[in-house]
Amino acid sequence: MRSTSPGSTPRTPGRAPAVEVTGLVKRYGTKTAVDGLDLTVAHGTVTAVLGPNGAGKTTTVETCEGYRRPDDGTVRVLGLDPVADAAALRPRIGVMLQSGGVYAGARAEEMLRHTATLHAHPLDVGMLIDRLGLGSCGRTTYRRLSGGQQQRLALAMAVVGRPELVFLDEPTAGLDPQARHATWDLVRELRADGVSCVLTTHFMDEAEQLADDVAIIDGGRVIAQGSPDELCRGGAENSLRFTGRPGLDLASLLKALPADSSASEPASGVYRVHGKIDPQLLATVASWCAQNGVMPDAIAVERHTLEDVFLELTGKELRA
């Protein structure tokens, strides 16, 4: 589960949200990619945008970056209109595209130095190169970098200008575990230093690890938003699982449990109790086991992960 508790840096109360999207609609021809989407990213927080492919994540993020003009609704990024105020907004945001963005013949370090030159107070390029493990490939041209190195270079380019807000579109797709952790550490440090961050991801553990807020998008709308804890607590029910000798009398167990609970034996000798799992229920199960001479082995509360919540909300079937 979560090893960090975002919240170490207090959200600055009273500061305008970093991103405020209201009723966003975006159509491509007859297809509606985003359909009345609302999203608020509090200043200084990390917000993860989750959703199945084609849910409208990238369209939403790219509208915030000023690439697309909303068909309806309003988008404010750092208080500015991303299209009308593009010139004022661009220096203040950092953007990591899902892929590409670098001249095929440019060397990694050359491109990062160039990006730094476009900003007034850039970060130290050497430090960033060390942090993201790009030292060994600084003289390698972009087309010869591995996918993971290309990702890390794109991340470095997004943060080198010391932005107030970064948009990271699937920042760890295709990274090995080390590079993934280096990216996570960097995002945590950005947050600690007061940079707001919007990231899209397919990795639930990434959202659980990094995000203060998670917005689950499907069909062009936000269908759930909250902290990872809130999302895991709400919605899906939790369950209690234990093992014992096969064929216990479930009817007798049910009688002991509160009315809205259920009990099952999904596999021989494996028992599962669904319902409101609280200390009282745990004690009830334990005492029922004691009365029946059962040693409840491997008793555990199975807490829903963000992935369970996600699948429950967006459905399990594969989408085209």
Partner 1 sequence: MTATEAGTATTTGTFAPRPGAAPLPRMIRAQAALETRMLLRNGEQLLLTVIIPTLLLVLFSAVDIVDTGAGKAVDFLAPGILALAVMSTAFTGQAIATGFERRYGVLKRLAVSPLPRWGLMTAKTCAVLVTEVLQIALLTAVALALGWSPHGNPLTVLLLLLLGTAAFSGLGLLMAGTLKAEATLAAANLVFLLLLVGGGVIVPLAKFPEAARAVLHLLPISALSDGLREVLGHGASVPWSDLGVLAGWAVLGLGTAAKFFRWE
Task: Give the nearer residue to partner 1 in terms of CB position, either 44 or 244.
Answer: 44
Judged by CB under 8 A, does residue 191 bind partner 1?
yes
Contact 37, 56 (CB under 8 A): yes
Interface characters, 41-70, with partner 1 (x: CB under 8 A)? ------------------------xxx---
DSSP string across 236-274: SPPEEEEE-SSS--HHHHHHHS-TT-EEEEEETTEEEEE
Residues 6+ apart with CB under 8 A from 147: 174
Q: Does 181 bind partner 1 (CB under 8 A)?
A: yes
Residue 5 in the binding site for partner 1 (CB under 8 A)? yes
Distance of alpha carbon 60 from alpha carbon 67, whole angstroms? 10
Is 41 strand, coil or helix? strand
Residue 269 backbone phi and psi in degrees, to 5: 85, 5
* C-alpha pair distances (Å), 103 with each of 60, 66, 73, 157, 158: 26, 22, 35, 13, 16
| Residue whose token pair is 């689950």 | 216
Among 24, 168, 179, 240, which residue interacts with partner 1 (rule: CB under 8 A)?
179
> Which range, of 20-28, 153-161, 250-258, 262-270, touches partner 1 by CB under 8 A?
153-161
Binding mask 91-130 for partner 1 (x = CB under 8 A): xxx-x-x-xxxxxxxx---x---xx-xxxxx-x---x--x
Q: Of the two residues 195 and 273, which places its CB atom closer to partner 1 in the complex?
A: 195
Q: Which one among 37, 175, 195, 211 touches partner 1, defined by CB under 8 A?
A: 195
Sites of contact with partner 1 (CB under 8 A): 3-5, 8-9, 65-67, 87, 90-93, 95, 97, 99-106, 110, 114-115, 117-121, 123, 127, 130-133, 157, 159, 161-164, 178-179, 181-182, 184-185, 188-195
